[in-house]
Amino acid sequence: MANPYTRAPPLGSGSSKALGDKDPFYGWLPRRINAEQVQKAMAGDVNPFTKQPHSAQYKKILETRKKLPVFAQMSEFLRMFSDNQIIVMVGETGSGKTTQIPQFVCYSDLPHTKGKLIACTQPRRVAAMSVAKRVADEMDMPLGKQVGYSIRFEDMTEPGTTFLKYMTDGMLLREAMNDPDLTRYSTIILDEAHERTLATDILMGLLKALARRRADLKIIVMSATLDALKFQKYFSVSKGGEPAPLFKVPGRTHPVEVFYTQDPEPDYVEAAIRTVLMIHRAEEPGDILLFLTGEEEIEDACKKIKLEADDLLNQDPDSVGPLVCIPLYSSLPPQQQQRIFDPAPTPRMPDGPPGRKIVISTNIAETSLTIDGIVYVVDPGFSKQRVYNPRIRVDSLLVSPISKASAQQRAGRAGRTRPGKCFRLYTERDFMKELEEQTHPEILRSNLANTVLELVKLGIKDLVKFDYVDAPAPETLMRALELLNYLAALDDDGNLTPLGAIMADFPLDPQMAKMLIVSPEFNCSNEILTIVAMLSVPNVWLRPPNQRKEADAAKAMLTVPDGDHLTLMNVYNNYQQNSHDRGWAWNNYLSQRALQQADNVRSQLQRNMERFEIDLVTTADPKRLHMNVRQALVCGFFMQVGHKEGEKGQYFTVKDNQVVNLHPSCGLDNQPEWVIFNEFVLTTKPYIRTVTDVRPEWLLEYAPNYFDLSSFPDGTETKRALQRIANKRSRKNAPPESSSNGKGDRPSKRAKKAY
DNA sequence: GAGCACTGC
């Protein structure tokens, strides 16, 4: 056979007639391609990848592509790509990097000639989908053929045809778990690396090691300017040697003038409202984007601004135009989110002062959503950030100052369509001296139980020595290892157990994966599957401010008094029985969107169960079914137990002895002595949320290692209570329920032993 | 008697 590189094989719909002997790739040598070759191929009449004639549309799009800053540097890029295994690339907003660089790579790498793919990862699903669509158009191909995307629940690729795949970072990480060498890929592009999502961080560590094993793999890390040097050093080719080369492309945005306050503002919401109204009165036409921290703050500010703006309009209708306030946060239904794209209101009278639109948004407008036409940004300098405290194992959301990088990103939102202004509600000194350079990457702010299990499954032996871009706190790793060991996912030496290997394959927190896998032993895997799905989606309960009573009453109708987990199950079952009816969900103050998602997650998990031959079983007798479900819950959540002390209903977490309260949303009709909880949240008080009544015997029985009383701090009421139960049990000298194994409905003997 | 920054598998 001739050199395979002299002639690209015809692809998919390619017809040899159209091709003739004019294959635009004829004689091309992969990874040794220059810009002249590519330009010529792009300008040709025949699409070199499909061998079809180019459409008129294609030529049009090509002209606009040529105006992108990155296009002018194609030659430089191709040279750098030829000469290096790893490149760090910086491309500011509007450079065209996300759409163009992967295409340049296609022309140079010619992945289709070797049956490989180019991957380009994105932190968000919508981005992966929309960019893939755009690039498919640019390359004159139907989406899902040569160019596709892959996100959870949706694989828009065609095996054997697709050679450029946009995907979420989490998706590529999943693939790595089953193929640590990522052999299908010839080039991997990590886009938006500066966002430092957990998945991107882990991928960077994996790819750095993989680059040594696979000399044929090329890697491109794309980021914002501030982080480039850090990545260059991290990906230095030789140990302590040269940093990875940098490819830099200017952006194409308009200048944004930044203003600071003279003095610190004591009340940033009040200051923000004042600033917005000042802009409305005094500045040229143009829409405003105000960043606040959460739903309540946003809705509140919306009302206040509206009131004040209406006053202004009435007082001075000749110089002040109408103003419309639009809230934006993730839990808003998509339809309402769309309002941010509405045009500004029209003047009240012909020739009157023009109207203005103000969007008041959480961080969602910083990265996930771009709104065109914004000219003014008001930035109070705060956002809610997730923090994880490994000492007490609690996740919380804290309003914290943003980073410099974040502030710059926010300011940039004012310059997308024309020159803009950004009003920072803090002093220049604070910006320079007080703000951190970067937002702490997620890996430093999260519970890593899931990540650690993934890393072990990926074959990483020593988690502490893993080459992280930023290493997590050792205590966070310890907490994760400890949890996984108690769940029997890792043995005492930190090796993956067969159970752990299966757990890692479920897109779930380890606790939930564990209880799902063991649930057939309790004859309730059907129910646990539902509960796990419901726990994996956003809150299903709606509570509109003016209909709280009605919403609470509707919830009470669906509540199961034995526990919130059972209530969730009941909600899902009712949703099914009412054939996913939108009206039913609406009448019961439930989020149809969340229920639909739960349904989706449930099917995906069910497919995973089938792959591992985990039976889907249930128990006929409803009373016994509830008992069985509650026991299965213990198998996953035995480390999240609350014990009531005293009559006041004060709960203490087991072992950590933290004081916690039942969350007001809890549906229990009494205060059981022992409960398991799904989450521990720190808001106005420490709360445990999604709570179920359990029996202490179950704790001792299904989690004997964790409930080894010698490991408990002495002198606590919890320990004494458990000791009493243990004594009673040993007197009986037989497990109380498994001995009477008359009906198949009861937990089997094996369940007792294994867990 | 309270909340839900945002993403992802």
A650 beta carbon to strand B: under 7 Å: no
Q: Are A314 and A384 in contact (CB under 8 A)?
A: no
Q: Tell me which protein residue sits closest to nucleotide B2, measuring alpha carbon to C1'.
A: A664
Burial pattern A293-308, b for ≥16 Cβ within 10 A else e, equals bbeebbebbbebbeeb
Count of residues in chain A: 755
Q: Are A571 and A590 in contact (CB under 8 A)?
A: yes
Contacts of A141 (CB under 8 A, 6+ apart): A47, A49, A50, A147
pLDDT at A608: 92
Question: Strand B contacts (CB < 7 A) among A residues 435-464?
Answer: 450
Question: Strand B contacts (CB < 7 A) among A residues 166-185?
Answer: 168-171, 174
Alpha helix segments (H runs only) across A123-219: 125-138, 169-178, 198-213
Angle at A563 between CA A700 and CA A598, to 5 degrees: 110
pLDDT at A21: 54
Contacts of A512 (CB under 8 A, 6+ apart): A506, A532, A535, A536, A636
Q: Are A356 and A323 in contact (CB under 8 A)?
A: yes
Amino acid residing at A282:
A
**Which candidate, A263, A216, A265, A222, places its Cα nearest to that of A244?**
A222
- Provide block-wise average pLDDT over 10 residues at a time, chain A (755 residues): 45 46 83 93 92 92 94 96 95 87 96 94 91 94 95 91 95 92 96 92 94 95 86 82 91 91 91 94 93 89 90 85 90 83 86 90 85 92 87 80 91 91 95 90 91 91 90 91 94 94 93 95 96 92 83 91 94 91 88 90 93 94 95 94 84 88 88 91 85 95 92 86 90 55 44 42
Q: Tell me which protein residue sits closest to nucleotide B9, measuring alpha carbon to C1'.
A: A507
pLDDT at A749: 43
Contacts of A549 (CB under 8 A, 6+ apart): none
Q: Can you tell me the distance from the alpha carbon of A345 to that of A348, in angstroms, rounded to the nearest whole number? A: 9
**Which candidate, A507, A530, A521, A520, places its Cα nearest to that of A616?**
A520
Nucleotide nearest to A539 (CA to C1'): B4
Nucleotide nearest to A330 (CA to C1'): B6
Maximum distance among all Cα pairs of chain A, rounded to whole angstroms: 91
> pTM for this one?
0.90
Helices (H) and strands (E) in chain A, counts: 28, 21
First to last CA, chain A: 59
Nucleotide nearest to A171 (CA to C1'): B9
A684 beta carbon to strand B: under 7 Å: yes
A336 beta carbon to strand B: under 7 Å: no
Q: In this predicted model, what pLDDT tens digit does every residue of A135-184 receive, in sequence order?
A: 999 999 999 999 999 999 889 999 999 999 999 999 999 999 889 999 99
Positions of strand B less than 7 angstroms from a protein CB: 1-9
Edge-to-edge strands, sheet with A185-190: A154-156, A147-151, A164-168, A117-122, A185-190, A218-223, A86-91, A246-249
Q: Can you tell me the distance from the alpha carbon of A655 to that of A334, in angstroms, rounded to the nearest whole number? A: 43
A385 beta carbon to strand B: under 7 Å: yes
pLDDT at A1: 40
Q: Are strands A674-682 and A641-645 parallel, antiparallel or unpaired?
A: antiparallel
Distance A282 CA to B9 C1' (A): 49
Distance A391 CA to B5 C1' (A): 23
3-class state of residue A407 by DSSP: helix
Question: Strand B contacts (CB < 7 A) among A residues 571-600?
Answer: none
A664 beta carbon to strand B: under 7 Å: yes
A125 beta carbon to strand B: under 7 Å: yes
pLDDT at A160: 92
Amino acid residing at A77:
F
Question: Strand B contacts (CB < 7 A) among A residues 494-523?
Answer: 507-508
Q: Can you tell me the distance from the alpha carbon of A382 to that of A399, in angstroms, rounded to the nearest whole number? A: 6
Burial pattern A541-568, b for ≥16 Cβ within 10 A else e, equals bbeeeeeeeebeebbeebbbebbbbbbb
Torsion region of A457: left, alpha or beta (phi above 0 gives left; psi -120 to 50 gives alpha) = alpha
Q: Are strands A650-653 and A659-662 parallel, antiparallel or unpaired?
A: antiparallel
